[in-house]
Each structure stands twice: as C-alpha cells, then as structure tokens.
Homo-oligomer: A and B are copies of this chain.
C-alpha cells in the first residue's frame, strides 16, 4: 500500500521536501472525538528545527491546516485531510550537486526507482520532513488514546554516545512518573528522564556539528494503560504493526521490544516474566517482554527502542559517484542540515506508536468504541 498504512485506522501520506505542501489523510476515527489543535501545534513544535546549532537552519512554522473531518473542535467521522505548507525551501542548494549521490541518503535508490524523475530537492519524498504530517496525524490518535487512559512518551535513551536513564519497565509506579515527566517536557528541552544530562548531550551534538559531522542515538518509548488483548497474530502482532511504522521513520535501522537483543544471551528462567495477582489484576513480576506476549498486549507497560543512525548529511568531503556520468567523484554537501535528528524524532516515534496502537485497538473494539465513555 506504499503511502497508506493501517487496518481500521489508516494514514495516507504525501509530499516532498521542497514542494508546495506536505500532508496526510487520517481515516477511521469515530465522530465526536475532541481534537485539540493547540496540542497538535505543541507536537509539531517538538519536531521543529530550532536553528540552535542542534538542527538545521531551515525552520518551518509547520502550521497544520485541517481541511476536513474536524468541525467545531470535534471529528466529524469522515476522513481528516491535513496540509502543512513548505515555506523555507532553498532548492538552489541542491541543484549543483544533484547527480552526485550523497552517501547514506536515498539519492541513488531514488534514481534507481524513479529513473531521474524523482523530486531530488532536499531529499524529496525521503526527507525527514515527511514525518511532519505523521506527527500531526499521530498526535490526533494520541489524544484519542489519552482520553482512554493510555499514555505514551518517548525519551532520548542515548545520543552521541551519552546515555539517559532507562525507562523502568519493571517498576510500574516509577515508570509512570518517568512517562509523565518526559511527556511534559517542553519543546525547548531534550526529552530526558534525567534532565541533568541534557547539557552534556547538547555539547556533544554541537561538537559533532562544528566538525561538520553528525551523531546518532537510541529512542525509547513507553506506553501505559493499554488493555490486555490488543494485537492480531499471526501477521499483525503488536510488534509487527509497531515495527512496520517505526521502520518507516527515516534513519531508524533497529527496533527492539523489552530486553530485545538482550534476550539472546539469557536463559528462559531469567527471561520469563512470572505472573502474579495484584488485587484483582493479573500482572507480571518483571516486564522483560515489554507488555507483549504472543504478539498481544498483556496489560503491562509496552516499552521499545529504536536505533537512529547519524544524519547522513555531513559537511566533510565524501567519496561518491556521479550518477549520470557514471564516474567516481567527490562530494562536499551544501544546504542546511541537522547534525542530529534524534531529539526531533522523539515525537515522531510517539506519534507512530499512537497510530499503530489506536489501529489495533479499533480492530478489536470497533470505530464506535473510540467515542464511548
């Protein structure tokens, strides 16, 4: 389905980095759901470049225009069309070196797929800019989940080799505090559990940028309040649906749930999460499996991490190829780029998770459930 994803709640994306506008169509919401446009603006603000040496000098207001599906602050029940204008294009930066394939970028694969007709300006359809409509639509989904008592937050687990504290997957009370703190983090701050680590991270990112280089990191998301029973194996396990969306985010090259790759060297006796009663509720004593057994949520917190590779746009001279002349060449990238996109991608990850989880819950409970008390 290419630019459309979802079974019961579906998102369709369109746009190119330097075109007129980018946008999305969000389908499958019930009628009568409140839509908080200021919260959408806040989410967009978290994704926004701030021109602060941490990210590209291209700063966009990213006002989200809801063209349909929302009236008087509530969903109408039909598809929500939204657009975000592109304002700060500076395509001339790209013209000169257009046929010099930027290493780590989609330039070559776009040539291979689109035969030279791709919109190569600013990465076109492959730009991180395409995550803006994902954030706008995902934030609407997040609001629906929040009204159901489901909370999502993403923090920077690591960046530039520096680590934040991990989410306390095994300790629901502490995790709830962490999630609340991270979700409340202002757009100007890095989303961290331990704010004391922010300055060192900023310094490391700026240092890489100052050297014309870039850094990667790890984003960790926690979801609280999910009921047991969401996920549709065989193929639409909760992990499958979430990872499908997460790997759509440019730069994500790894996804793991719970202990993830840490499971590989454990024995079953250490990996299993024993069940126990907590009052009337069935819980697990540990949460190594991150709230998912057999591809279905078990009511414990869902926790996952993505590996975000360093931005491929660096200002150092690189070896490459001229696509048209088919000769080896050297490339010195121009333009405005991010030395790090990890911090901007945190809200993207939250939004992708909200979309995937709302879809799975709607498959089970139906569209009408979204509105029910």
Contacts and interface: CB of A to CB of B under 8 A. Distances in A.
B80 A67 contact: no
Nearest to A66: B20
A236 interface: yes
A81 B21 contact: yes
B109 A296 contact: yes
A261 B318 CA distance: 24
Interface residues of A, number: 155
A89 interface: no
A297 interface: yes
A274 interface: yes
B13 A276 contact: no
Nearest to A297: B109
Interface of A, helix, strand, loop or mixed by DSSP: mixed
Interface in A339-359: none
Interface in A105-126: 105-110, 112-119, 123-126
Given A2-B232, A243-B247, A289-B104, A312 B14 contact: no
A5 interface: yes
A216 interface: yes
A158 B264 contact: yes
B79 A124 contact: no
Contacts of A117: 31-32, 71, 74-77
B14 A28 contact: no
A166 interface: no
24 contacts: A1-B7, A2-B79, A2-B232, A13-B79, A14-B25, A19-B71, A20-B65, A23-B67, A76-B118, A76-B124, A77-B117, A104-B289, A161-B265, A215-B268, A216-B263, A216-B265, A235-B244, A239-B247, A250-B294, A253-B260, A260-B307, A262-B307, A267-B310, A271-B309
Assembly of this chain: how many copies?
Answer: 4
A313 interface: yes
A328 interface: yes
A151 interface: no
Nearest to A371: B115
B236 A14 contact: no
A328 B276 contact: yes
3 pairs of A and B residues whose beta carbons are closest in the complex? A106-B294, A366-B366, A14-B81
B3 A311 contact: no
A333 to B, nearest CB: 10
